[in-house]
Chains A and B, each alone.
Chain A
Amino acid sequence: MTVLAPTTAEETRPPGAPAPGRPRRGGRAPLAALLLAGPFALLLLGTVLVPIGYALYLSLFTERLSGLGFDGPHDVFVWLGNYADVLGDGAFRDSVGNVAGYALVHVPLMLGIALVLALLLDSATVRLRQVWSLAVFLPYVVPGVIAGLIWAYLYSPNIGPLQDLLPWDPLGGNGVLPSLVTITTWQWTGYNMIIFYTALRTVPRDVLEAARVDGAGPLRTAWSVKVPTIRPTIFVALVFTVIGSLQLFTEPLVLRSFTGSVTSTWTPSLYVYEEAFISNDYGRAAAASMLLALASALLSALVMRLSARRSR
């Protein structure tokens, strides 16, 4: 990032001159390129671009009934009406507030624990390294729904022990947020620890030795040498976690059948689900999805931007 990109031949060649090293081949080379890029382009088109385009299209329409509604709906073009409805809907704003609160606790907590564990694992003092890393990684292997159920039972009064042990009511109105953070932190810490640990293995040993020769202790080495070296990895993990937090869905959906405190629109993803599949309001669901995607994109861009500035 600190090095300027070398100027390419492309930019220095006089305008109009043929590009060197790229002889014309009467359309055959483009065909080969097309053939090679084809599968990817088709998949991208079919599974990403067309669905996004269709969601965008859907988000501009709404279904209108008339009278008693028994004659079936007809589609009406409403410009950005659905977007205005979603943004004006208190339930949607609450759901954004919920995931924001969730992310504020979950992201630093989970990444912090993962980083500390990875550093411990990387320091020579830990024995049984593989057993230890497997044990921490194991929750990630448990599917989200199963994890949600396990924890919901642990939280349930009369069945699980946690209701009596925790300082908060895990299924009560104010308790579901920390309860959810606990579930997802349990799930994702191991995964991120492995990523950090793998990155830590690539820190050059001579640099570490140099640090030791300079008199740095293990803590100092970890903080001033190891962490700065794997900073790009940390930021990538940060981006994924932030996006994952925004899209929080499975765990609250499972908890919903155990407590009414997780409302049907508790996260933006649940809001979309409720609008589409329970209220049958596809236009509004599509609009909310587009807003969610936009927010994810903006947040990721912001995090990447920050990371670029930091590592300079």
Chain B
Amino acid sequence: MAPHTDWSRRAFLRAASGSAALAAGGATLLSGCSSRTTASGATRVRIWSWMTGMDKYVAAFNAAQREVHVELSVIAAGLSGGYAQQTNAIRAHNAPDILHVEYQGLIQLLATGGLRELTEDLADLAEGYTPAAWQGVRPDGRTWAVPMDFAPMAFYYRKDLFDEHGIEVPRTWEEFRHTAEAVRQAAPGSRLTTFPLNDGSFFAGMSWGAGDPWWRIEGDTWLVDVAGEGTLRTAAYWQDLISAGLVQSAGTGTQDWISSIHSGRLWGLLGASWSVGTLKKSIPDDTGRWAIATMPVWDASAPANGVQGGTAFGISEESEVAEAALTFLRWLSTDPEVVRVGSEFTSPFPAWLPSREVAREVVPGDWFVGDPVYDVLDEAAARVPDWTWGPTSLGLFATLSDAFAEVTTGGTTLPDAVRRVQSSAVSDMRDRGLSVREGSPA
């Protein structure tokens, strides 16, 4: 027994020193990986993103110059884990140099204290962006991210069926209700559109179009107004359409939805600029049927158009290569080459206005009929009213869809649900220690 124990002690020591060496080797290897320059002397910049085709943009950038080498890690999309991963990385002080933020998630990420202020660095670009996108990265007058694309909402419709039945494209929400009735009359099994009750960001976009921002910044205080006049008007309007059976209320993007828009059970879609790509991908063979229009408006004399989604990129507060990261982001945001690369797999709608002119030229426009897609989206983007996202907006989307769950069974109505969400939004923010005031500006 004793010799064995002796042996095992020696073996243990050997094993221990071996694993220590291994650990040291691993550490060297790791630090080698995170070294700030590549073998060829380019500055290494790490980016996390879930944007489709980001690998192609990065490859194009890396091929075009030698000073900066960007390394991409594709992460899960936004609320499917992307934000969680980025927030955790910021907490653990190992965030990548560039973080993927959307306008709607920017403030929530800002509240982790992990983003670098870019006010000075981007001041020269101020004039080039769609104003609403520029405001989206400057919630408090300081710039926190670089805008990438912009996503004004738009109304997509089956032009062939509309023409066949002599239905006009609705310009106001009042007309929209008549259109919904006309569609049901023309084809009793069909509806004009669906109002996806399980999508909080969709409802936010619809409320944005009604013109009452859910959050405002007043000095050092958040003004929270989720149940403002415009939002309640939107909620009551859709409650009426759902109760009357004029629209569906199931989600979009599902197999059921794709089958519905392909087979003519749905004649329209309330979507955003990125729905151009969604439609082309979901029903590629339905060429020449669909057209695009700006969103119906509440007041024809003051047309307003909401926004759903849109991407921007931030730089980590702790990044040691912020300059190089900025070089890449400026290229990504404003270089015409990005649009050319992007047009090969999607229909980009850049926030940078000169790039949009490029997109108009290079994106094939043969799928849609009716008004040119970029004309309509430009018009929609120009109609976008002021809006500020809040520090709990992502969580609020979940709260909204939870609150809307009982609408289908008649357990609640949209306006009632919205009022409940307002009070829980306020108490959530107070719980987090934020300075909050309820209601609209005095």
Interface of A toward B, CB cutoff 8 Å: 25, 28-29, 31-32, 35, 63-73, 85, 91, 153, 156-159, 172-174, 256-265, 274, 276-281
Contacts and interface: CB of A to CB of B under 8 A. Distances in A.
A251 B159 CA distance: 39
Contact of B391 (A25, A28, A65, A91): A65
B255 interface: yes
Given A31-B5, A35-B12, A173-B406, A72 B140 contact: no
A281 B432 CA distance: 9
Interface in B73-125: 79, 81, 83-84, 87, 107-108, 110-114
A159 B259 CA distance: 8
B8 interface: yes
Nearest to B9: A31
B435 A153 contact: no
A282 B323 CA distance: 33
A73 to B, nearest CB: 7
A72 B116 CA distance: 12
A274 B428 CA distance: 14
B405 A28 contact: no
A180 B290 CA distance: 38
B140 A73 contact: no
**A-B residue pairs, 10 tightest by C-beta:** A72-B113, A260-B198, A64-B433, A277-B84, A173-B409, A263-B402, A264-B398, A279-B395, A69-B111, A28-B5
B81 A277 contact: yes
Given A32-B8, A65-B391, A278-B84, 20 more contacts: A31-B5, A31-B8, A32-B4, A64-B432, A65-B434, A66-B434, A68-B220, A68-B222, A72-B111, A156-B254, A159-B255, A173-B408, A257-B251, A258-B251, A259-B198, A260-B408, A261-B408, A263-B402, A277-B81, A278-B394
A73 B112 contact: yes
Contacts of B250: 157
Interface string B255-277: 11001100001000000000000
Contacts of A157: 250, 256
Nearest to B392: A279
With a 10 A CB-CB cut-off, give which of B114, B399, B428 has the most chain A CB atoms.
B399
B405 A261 contact: yes
| Interface size, B (range) | 35 or more
With a 10 A CB-CB cut-off, give which of A35, A68, A172, A174 has the most chain B CB atoms.
A68
A243 to B, nearest CB: 25
Contact of A173 (B108, B411, B433): B411
Contacts of B12: 35
Contacts of A28: 1-2, 5-6
Contacts of A276: 84
A190 B217 CA distance: 57
Contacts of B217: 68
A153 B84 CA distance: 28
Contacts of B110: 69-70
B197 interface: yes
A32 B5 contact: yes
Contact of A66 (B81, B402, B431, B435): B435
Contact of B111 (A32, A70, A257, A259): A70
A179 to B, nearest CB: 14
Given A29-B5, A158-B265, A159-B255, A72 B395 contact: no
Contact of A158 (B9, B260, B392): B260
Contacts of B251: 257-260
A298 B379 CA distance: 62
B433 A277 contact: no
B197 A65 contact: no
Given A68-B217, A264-B398, A173 B405 contact: yes
A172 B222 contact: no
B401 interface: yes
With a 10 A CB-CB cut-off, give which of B217, B398, B411 has the most chain A CB atoms.
B398
Contact of B256 (A65, A158, A174): A158
A300 to B, nearest CB: 30
